[in-house]
Chains A and B, each alone.
Chain A
């Protein structure tokens, strides 16, 4: 089945220790998104790629970076995680349909100790 895959599902890192989260997709969608979601809050868009074009949200901290080496893969790098970065990180994709509906992966739960 075509899908969005995220690894790992759970990640524990230490304060200040860099961490990388990965996302892959078999949908061949050209747009990939990274969201941060904290408990009882709406998903917050961090950045997205339209093909290779990177789009950063104005309020995304510099501590967050992203790479998209090819259509299928996208990475989220957190250079120096703080306690406030503990959250669910969601990857989503969308393709060239009328409404560009987004499909989410299962998410990575990040804990910072």
Chain B
């Protein structure tokens, strides 16, 4: 069974700090990796995707991928209270048409 694991949290960080969210996956053949942000009662919003080993930066967000360790992370710099949400890690395996497998999400709380 293909699995995606995340620490459920809550992860609490002070405003302005770096929040680090982690995700591991079981399928070594996974090709694409996604981070979604989900506010309470809302639908998931795609914030980052990464396909290659290394870092990918977009504004305050950095996604990091290490396929050898089957590990993907999301760093949020200068965290703001508006970043408080659940962050879902999703992994696509089985080729470009493979379905997404979601982790249960990590709840992030940014304290003013």
A residues near B (Cβ < 8 Å) are 31, 33, 40-43, 45, 48, 50, 88, 90, 98-107, 109
Contacts of B31 in A (CB 8 A): 99
- B32–A42 CB distance below 8 A: no
User: Given contacts A42-B105, A107-B42, is CB(A101)–CB(B34) below 8 Å?
Assistant: yes
Contacts of B74 in A (CB 8 A): none
- B105–A100 CB distance below 8 A: no
Which listed residue (A45, A88, A98, A105) contacts B100, Cβ 8 A?
Answer: A45
A24, chain B: closest CB distance, angstroms: 15
Among residues 49 to 104 in chain B, which have CB atoms less than 8 Å away from a CB atom of chain A? 49, 51, 88, 90, 92, 96-97, 99-100, 102-104
State the CA gap A61–B43 with chains docked (Å).
23
Which listed residue (B42, B45, B49, B102) contacts A43, Cβ 8 A?
Answer: B102
State the CA gap A45–B100 with chains docked (Å).
8
Contacts of A103 in B (CB 8 A): 46
* Chain A, residue nearest B34 (CB): A101
- B104–A100 CB distance below 8 A: no
* Chain B, residue nearest A97 (CB): B96
- A100–B43 CB distance below 8 A: no
Q: Can you spell out 30 A-B residue pairs with CB atoms less than 8 angstroms apart?
A: A40-B105, A41-B104, A42-B4, A42-B88, A42-B102, A42-B105, A43-B44, A45-B99, A48-B99, A88-B43, A98-B96, A99-B31, A99-B32, A99-B34, A99-B49, A99-B51, A99-B96, A100-B32, A100-B96, A100-B97, A101-B46, A101-B49, A102-B34, A102-B90, A102-B100, A104-B43, A104-B44, A104-B45, A107-B42, A107-B43
